Amino acid sequence: MSPSAMSATRILALFQRYVFLHRRSLIRMFDIGFWPVMDLLIWGFMTRYLQQVVSTPRAQVVVFLIGAIIAWDIHYRGQQAVTISLMEEIWTRNITNLLVAPVRLWEWVTASFLYAFLKVAVVTLILAGLAKALYAFDLARGGWAFLPLAGSLLLFGWSIGLTTAGLLLRYGYAAEALIWGIPFLLQPFSCVFYPLESLPRWAQSIAGLLPSTYAFEGLRRTFQGQAVSPTMWLGVIGLNVLYLTLGVVLFVWMFRRARADGRLGHLGQD
């Protein structure tokens, strides 16, 4: 068997492991369906109420709330899936088994990316169907531009996921809170539910450093039937390449530091 075929086999095996974890765990299934659906229901019903009290016909800004919820979930679930795939190994004390197995680091990362992609795809389809049925919101109104913009949010989620996974490898359970905290720390500056201009100047400076800001600004334009500007595309593509590169470098560096310090074999036993 060629080296590339062996790598593909190992990646597929890891990917199947993360998928099969959901087959016998109702709690894990909640992460796919329950919480995203609850978010959509709460914000969706609030949106319907706001539409009733807003006098402007159509109320485009209010309508975008539902699309923003779905798009934010793409970023959030992408980050969660990458980091939690590592947490599964820590919780089940399987890190040592992975270390002695002929699995390369990039193969584990690729498997976690595939798992995140599948999870996000399933959640997005569920939410898009519910949004159409309950609120008459068609996700396709964003046109072709929705796919690359949503993909950029997934890429940014992977970048954050690699960063938090690296911190977990290096510091163990002490860094576990970062899994849940970092996405919501970035959310106010990502302009998920409001335009960039609504932020104060100091916050706009921070928001301009995040690819998620340009993605949500672009999504707002697409849902209003407008074209995404070249500046937004440049921010989406350029910053995603930068952060994904930094995420990979930081993850590899943290992994090597943890291995050199002997912490990898003790993860899950703290």
Indicate the pLDDT class of residue 36, thresholds 50, 70 and 90: low
pLDDT reported for residue 197 = 84
% helix, strand, coil for the chain, step of 5: 80, 0, 20
Indicate the pLDDT class of residue 2, thresholds 50, 70 and 90: confident
Query: Could you give the angle at the alpha carbon of 113 between the alpha carbons of 99 and 265, nearest 5°?
Result: 20
pLDDT reported for residue 155 = 95
CB atoms within 10 A of CB 215: 32
Residue 74: strand, helix, or coil: helix
31 pLDDT above the threshold of 60: no
30 pLDDT above the threshold of 70: no
Indicate the pLDDT class of residue 167, thresholds 50, 70 and 90: confident
pLDDT reported for residue 149 = 93
pLDDT reported for residue 29 = 58
Question: pLDDT digits over 104-119, tens only?
Answer: 888 888 888 998 899 8
Question: pLDDT digits over 188-215, tens only?
Answer: 888 888 788 888 888 889 999 999 999 9
Can you tell me the distance from the alpha carbon of 212 to that of 232, in angstroms, rounded to the nearest whole number?
Answer: 10
**R_g (Cα) of the chain, nearest Å:** 20
State the residue for tokens 């997934």: 154
State the residue for tokens 């997005």: 124
Indicate the pLDDT class of residue 248, thresholds 50, 70 and 90: very high
pLDDT reported for residue 26 = 53
Indicate the pLDDT class of residue 264, thresholds 50, 70 and 90: low
State the residue for tokens 């990979």: 248
pLDDT reported for residue 42 = 52
Which amino acid is present at 109?
A: V
Which pTM was predicted?
0.79
174 pLDDT above the threshold of 80: no
Averaged confidence pLDDT in the chain: 80
pLDDT reported for residue 236 = 94
Can you tell me the distance from the alpha carbon of 209 to that of 36, in angstroms, rounded to the nearest whole number?
Answer: 27
- Return all residues near 120 (Cβ < 8 A) that are at least 6 apart: 73, 74, 77, 78, 81, 154, 157
Structure tokens at 150: 């949503």
In this structure, what DSSP letter does residue 227 have? P
- Dihedral Cα 187, 193, 194, 195, nearest 10 deg: 80
Indicate the pLDDT class of residue 45, thresholds 50, 70 and 90: low
Question: pLDDT digits over 47-82, tens only?
Answer: 664 655 555 445 555 567 788 888 999 999 899 888
Task: Please give the residue that has the higher pLDDT: either 235 or 103.
Answer: 235
Task: Please give the residue that has the higher pLDDT: either 4 or 36.
Answer: 4
Mean pLDDT calculated for residue range 13-23: 73
End-to-end CA distance of the chain: 39
Alpha-carbon distance values, 231 to 3, 124, 216, 217 (Å): 41, 27, 13, 11
- Mark out the alpha helices in 93-210 (DSSP H runs): 95-100, 105-135, 146-171, 177-186, 201-207
Which amino acid is present at 4?
A: S
Percent of the chain with pLDDT over 70: 78
